Each structure stands twice: as structure tokens, then as C-alpha cells.
Amino acid sequence: MTPSRDTETLCSVIKDPLKPERIINSLLHAFGHFSSELNGREKSYFLESLEGYRKGIMPLLVPLSILGSWVVRFGDEYLEGQTLFEPYPRELVPVTLIV
């Protein structure tokens, strides 16, 4: 049995996961869409969260959530459609409940 094209595509994508440097570059590019609209404290807060992610002491979700809130706040239609903010269906995202 030969693998389907979808299976081959999936295997090629997960074989080489994105490196943090590429993710950070994408986040900085998205940040550029808003930087002129933000105050100094907002910029610093985001850049500190990005540095935390780079150092491995903060999850990617933190800077991504900050950017996502600005996408909504400023109504950036271009970024709304980017897979950076929702790379896979929500049904596949595990939910961890802390009790």
C-alpha cells in the first residue's frame, strides 16, 4: 500500500519542525504591523515575552497571544488569515485543566 499525497505532505512537514529563530522572525514581522500604534510599555512587554521564548523560559503561546490580541484590536485583516495564529484546527489542540 502506498501512502497518500496527504500522508506524504504531513510527514515532510513534521520531519523538519520550525526552528525558534524562524518563528521569532515571523513574530517580529507581525509585530511590525502594530509597532507604530503601540506605546513604549506595550512594545517592551511584547519584546520581553519574545526574549523569554527565545531563552526557553516562556512558552510560544505568550508572545503569540499578545500579538493575537493586537490583531483583534487593530483589525488587521492580513494577519487574521495567517496560520501563525491558528496553525491547526482547534479540535486538535489539547486542553490541560489545572485543578
pLDDT tens-digit map of 5-42: 777 776 776 777 778 889 999 999 999 999 999 999 99
For residue 30, what are the contacts with CB-CB under 8 A and spacing of at least 6?
67, 71, 79, 82, 84
Residue 33's Cβ-count burial label (10 Å; 0-12, 13-18, 19+) is: middle
Q: Any idea what the Cα angle at residue 24 is, between residues 59 and 97, rounded to 5°? A: 20
The C-alpha cell at 33 is 504591523
Mean pLDDT of 51-60: 95
Q: What is the pTM of this model?
A: 0.74
